[in-house]
Amino acid sequence: MKDTDKNMENIARTDIKIIGFGNKFRCDDGIGPSVIEELEKLDISKNKNIEIIDGSTSGSDLILHLKECPRIIIVDAVDAGQDGGEVICINEKDIEKFIDKKMTSLSLHDLDLGDILKLSRALKIETDITIIGIKPVSIGFGEKLSPEVREKIPEIISRIIQMI
């Protein structure tokens, strides 16, 4: 392989994908896209092989991302038994425990986050996955996050920056 081919391969490769899931029209369920919007303003992917993605409500697309990238950070509205507005970080080794506890993504995805993770295991996809979840306070109709969830955006962004 020529040096220019190697350089093109390195440029095209994505080492980390940060994906925010959620419905921006269901109050706190829009946390994922809201965090993605803030990350885009910071331009953290400028000098790194990082892709920032608004996953909206299409959970099934996650399977494609899992197959293409060695590391994925997911931001979503998640109920894992924590208090409303509380941020949790679920690492790869802890995912099974949370799936067993009936962790639920509250976003209106075509597939639930837990189902997607089970499917990725069944397909033997070996991607390092971290989920940053926050339990919503309100998932009614509306375009604004509750104050309790909105004030957690800097904490979520700080955790993401530490991970990358």
The 10s digit of each residue's pLDDT in 93-122 is 776 676 666 555 545 455 566 666 777 777
**Is pLDDT larger for residue 61 or for residue 1?**
61
- Find the mean pLDDT for residues 139-143: 90
- Which positions ≥6 away from 18 have C-beta within 8 Å? 36, 39, 50, 51, 52, 53, 72, 73, 75, 160, 164
Tens-place pLDDT, residues 30-44: 999 999 999 999 877
Q: What integer pLDDT is reported at residue 9 of this predicted model? A: 45
Question: What is the pTM assigned to this prediction?
Answer: 0.80
Domains and CATH numbers, the chain: 13-163 (3.40.50.1450)
Instruction: Give the angle subtended at the CA of 117 by the CAs of 116 and 118, to the nearest 5°.
Output: 90
pLDDT one-digit tens code per residue, 44-67? 766 678 889 888 766 666 767 777
Calpha distance 74→77 (Å, rounded): 10
CA atoms of 81 and 58, how far apart (whole Å): 24
Alpha carbons 105 and 117: distance in angstroms, whole number: 11
Is the pLDDT score of 4 beyond 50?
no
CB atoms within 10 A of CB 2: 7
Return the structure tokens found at 23.
Answer: 């419905």
DSSP 7: H
Show Cβ contacts of residue 109 under 8 Å, excluding neighbours closer than 6 positions.
Answer: 21, 57, 58, 59, 60
CA distance 4 to 6: 5
Q: Does 14 have pLDDT greater than 90? A: no
Give mean pLDDT, residues 19-32: 91
